[in-house]
């Protein structure tokens, strides 16, 4: 379909990944263990993420650990970047594994081998004219910090993080101009293990612990913004949130109010602090009702106020539908982040509700609230792909999904939203964050690797590869 509605000049088309989900080489180059390295593959993983008491240990006898080898980008990055270039990527969102740079997290000096690896990756990207967009922390906290400091609950972690941030900003100041602080920072409200680096053991962890950890991340975020502007004056640094527009199940005002509250806490709380530079008023009542008393030290609030982020990046996979009183049957039916089934939407095989208009709603809601440029740094369909006898992979369902979302992006741009770019998730198949599966594929590029760890790691272009190439070449005029 062609239309007169346009994407802006210089729109950043690309794709997104995270170190832990594609690099592998988990022991190479002096890398330390990070959280993803101790998360098993398969159904166990989601259970672990959603229940209390995880031990952050590897149990080789019981489980497989798909992130250890992942898709071996660590050795194959040149081949993969060449494929991204062939699609015409203007940018590539990736993360730096904290544990390649500071294997335990609390060392004083960075690990040269880790720094050198990302130098090679950035050089390769620039060789192809691809701009790196780098997430500083994408579910990759050093396990050492989890075990010895209780993750982000400890204020000392702020110091370690700042050291890490300064090391990478200084090293890559000529190579990286777009930075993101914490991936899906608000996801810790639903599952703290990956983002906040601790497992819930009791009520205290759930409320006091979680929000104290957030306070530390907000300080860390401001320190990262400060360091970024000082070290790389021409760079931009953004926050990254998991945004799921929250609908009321019906027009019953009780449900509307309930949806408003749920949406504000989940979607807006973290971004409000990172973008507006202050705690939102609505959270004060929540703190009171849950007996949360933050340890805020002198200077913290000033720092947060002084260093808000430059832009807002977010992931968009689904909307959420809420109702105040849910029946037991309704409880279990929602998305990964909660809510109940929306009768107007279909869901992916993993139960994530597909809602392209929700993306337009998200873009409008976020832009209305903050008036800063937006960047969609994740979106996509996790699906099982079939390789045909002739080797082709005809992922029309993925093309359809992405096209419908792009149509809504174009609408939002017409609505007046300032949109910097779009990097669909898992542009090359990689390990799923929530389930550790390889069979939950998002890529334009197929990787021959399976849930049981087998596979040749060979890369193949899917039908969507050729389609996306055309989209980029026409700057989204031909979808
Ligand atoms: C986001 C994460 O939650 O969604 C990614 O930032 C993740 O790390 C992506 O991979 C898709 O989720 P999943 O569970 O299908 O991999």
pLDDT tens digits, one per residue of 420-476: 999 999 999 999 999 999 999 999 999 999 999 999 999 999 999 999 999 999 999
Distance CA 383, CA 358 (A): 20
Within 13 Å of residue 195, how many CA atoms lie on the same side as its CB? 26
Predicted confidence (pLDDT) per residue in 68-121, tens digit = 999 999 999 999 999 999 999 999 999 999 999 999 999 999 999 999 999 999
Contact between residue 83 and residue 413 where contact means Cβ atoms under 8 Å apart = no
- In this structure, which residue's CA is closest to atom 8 in ligand 1? 433
The pLDDT of residue 199 is above 70: yes
Radius of gyration of the chain (CA): 21
- State the closest ligand 1 atom to the C-alpha of 426, by its place in the atom list counted from 1: 10
Task: Answer whether 136's CB lies under 8 Å from 179's CB.
Answer: yes
Q: Which residue has the tokens 């000033």?
A: 302
Kindly tell me if the per-residue pLDDT of 230 is higher than 90: yes
**Which overall architecture, per CATH, does domain 12-473 show?**
Alpha-Beta Barrel (3.20)
Closest ligand 1 atom to 187 CA: 3
Q: How far is the CA of 160 from the centre of ligand 1 (A)?
A: 26
From the list 173, 177, 142, 158, the residue with the least C-alpha distance to 32 is: 142
Determine the distance separating the centroid of ligand 1 and the alpha carbon of 330, expressed in angstroms. Answer: 24
User: Can you give the pTM of this predicted structure?
Assistant: 0.98
Please check whether residue 134 is in contact with residue 180, taking contact to mean a CB–CB distance below 8 angstroms: yes
Report residue 58 CA to chain centroid gap.
24
Instruction: Name every protein residue with a CB atom under 6 angstroms from any ligand 1 atom.
Output: 18, 21, 183-184, 315, 378, 382, 425, 432-435, 440
What DSSP designation does 30 have?
A: G
Q: How confident is the model at residue 50 (pLDDT cuts 50, 70, 90)?
A: confident
Q: Which of 44, 140, 425 to mutate to test the pocket of ligand 1 (most atoms within 8 A of CB)?
A: 425
Q: Is residue 19's pLDDT more than 90?
A: yes
pLDDT at residue number 274: 98
CA nearest 164: which of 112, 105, 119, 223?
A: 105
Give the atom of ligand 1 at the shortest distance from the alpha carbon of 425. 9
CA-CA distance, 138 to 122, in Å (whole number)?
18
Which of 44, 50, 183, 434 has most ligand 1 atoms within 8 Å of CB, for mutation?
434
In this structure, which residue's CA is closest to atom 4 in ligand 1? 433
> Is it the case that residue 149 has pLDDT exceeding 90?
yes
DSSP conformation letters of 398-450: HHHHHHHHHHHHHHHHHTT--EEEE--BTSB----TTT--SSSB--SEEE---
Write the pLDDT tens digit of every residue in 119-146.
Answer: 999 999 999 999 999 999 999 999 999 9
385-411: average pLDDT: 98
For residue 6, name the pLDDT band (cuts at 50, 70, 90).
Answer: confident
Ligand 1 atom at minimum distance from 317 CA: 4
CA dist 428 and 269 (Å) reads 32
393 alpha carbon – ligand 1 mean position (Å): 22
Å from CA of 434 to ligand 1 middle: 6
Decide: helix, strand or coil at residue 62. Answer: coil
Mean pLDDT, the chain, integer = 96
Contacts of 373 (CB under 8 A, 6+ apart): 310, 311, 312, 418, 419, 420
β-pair partners for 340? 321
Neighbours of 10 (CB within 10 A): 9
Q: What's the pLDDT score for residue 332? A: 67
CA distance 366 to 191: 23
Q: Whose CA is nearest to atom 12 of ligand 1?
A: 433
At 374 the three-state DSSP class reads strand
* Tokens 């609408």 sit on residue: 411
Token digits of residue 402: 């992405």
How far does residue 322's CA lie from ligand 1's centre (Å)? 22
CA angle 119, 122, 126 (to 5 degrees): 135
Sequence-separated (6 or more) residues with CB below 8 Å from residue 463? 392, 393, 394, 395, 396, 399
- Exposed e or buried b per residue across 437-462, where buried means at least 16 C-beta atoms within 10 angstroms of its C-beta: bbebbbbbbbbebebeeeeeeebbbb
Span from the CA of 4 to the centroid of ligand 1 (angstroms): 33
pLDDT > 80? residue 264: yes
Of 45, 49, 239, 433, best ligand 1 pocket probe by most atoms within 8 Å of the beta carbon: 433
What distance in Å separates the CA atoms of residue 159 and residue 146, rounded to the nearest whole number? 15
Question: Residue ranges of the alpha helices (H) in 266-382?
Answer: 269-271, 282-289, 300-306, 328-331, 356-370
Please give the C-alpha separations between residue 392 and each of 396, 400, 423, 458, in angstroms, as whole numbers: 12, 18, 24, 13
Q: Which residues have a catalytic role annotated? A: 378
- Indicate the range of 40-44, 343-347, 377-381, 459-463 predicted with least confidence: 40-44
């Amino acid at each position: 379909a062609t239309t007169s509605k346009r994407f802006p000049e210089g729109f950043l088309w690309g794709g997104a990944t995270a170190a832990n989900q594609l690099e592998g080489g988990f022991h190479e180059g002096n890398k330390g263990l990070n959280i993803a390295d101790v998360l098993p593959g398969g159904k166990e993983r989601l259970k672990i993420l959603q229940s209390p008491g995880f031990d952050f240990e590897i149990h080789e006898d019981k489980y497989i650990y798909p992130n250890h080898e992942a898709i071996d980008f660590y050795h194959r990055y040149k081949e993969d970047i060449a494929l991204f270039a062939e699609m015409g990527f203007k940018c590539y969102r990736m993360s730096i594994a904290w544990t390649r740079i500071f294997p335990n997290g609390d060392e004083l000096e960075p690990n040269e081998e880790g720094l050198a690896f990302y130098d090679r990756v950035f050089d390769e990207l620039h060789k192809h004219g691809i701009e790196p967009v780098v997430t500083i922390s994408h579910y990759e906290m050093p396990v050492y910090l989890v075990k010895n400091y209780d993750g982000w609950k400890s204020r000392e972690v702020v110091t370690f993080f700042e050291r890490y941030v300064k090391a990478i900003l200084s090293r890559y100041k000529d190579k990286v101009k777009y930075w993101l602080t914490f991936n899906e920072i608000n996801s810790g409200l639903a599952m703290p293990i990956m983002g906040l680096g601790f497992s819930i053991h009791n009520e205290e962890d759930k409320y006091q612990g979680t929000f104290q950890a957030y306070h530390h991340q907000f300080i860390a975020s401001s320190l990262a913004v400060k360091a970024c502007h000082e070290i790389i004056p021409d760079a931009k640094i953004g926050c990254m949130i998991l945004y799921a527009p929250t609908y009321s199940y019906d027009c019953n005002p009780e449900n509307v109010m309930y949806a408003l509250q749920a949406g504000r806490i989940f979607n807006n709380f973290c971004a409000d602090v990172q973008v507006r530079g202050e705690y939102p008023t609505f959270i004060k009542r929540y703190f009171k009702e849950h007996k949360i008393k933050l340890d805020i030290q002198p200077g913290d609030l000033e720092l947060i106020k002084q260093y808000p982020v430059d832009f807002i990046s977010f992931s968009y996979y689904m909307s959420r539908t809420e109702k105040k009183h849910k029946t037991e049957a309704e409880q279990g039916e929602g998305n990964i982040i909660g809510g109940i089934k929306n009768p107007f939407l279909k869901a992916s095989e993993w139960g994530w509700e597909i809602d392209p208009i929700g993306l337009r709603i998200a873009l409008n809601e976020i832009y209305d609230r903050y008036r800063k440029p937006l960047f969609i740094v994740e979106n996509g369909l996790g699906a099982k792909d079939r390789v045909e006898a002739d080797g082709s992979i005809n992922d029309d369902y993925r093309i359809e999904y992405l096209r419908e979302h792009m149509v809504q992006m174009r609408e939002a741009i017409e609505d007046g939203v300032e949109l910097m770019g779009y990097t669909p998730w898992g542009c090359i198949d990689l390990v799923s964050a929530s389930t550790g599966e390889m069979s939950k594929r998002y890529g334009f590029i197929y990787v021959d690797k399976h849930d049981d760890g087998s596979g040749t790691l060979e890369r193949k272009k899917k039908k969507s590869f050729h389609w996306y190439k055309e989209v980029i070449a026409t700057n989204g005029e031909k979808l």
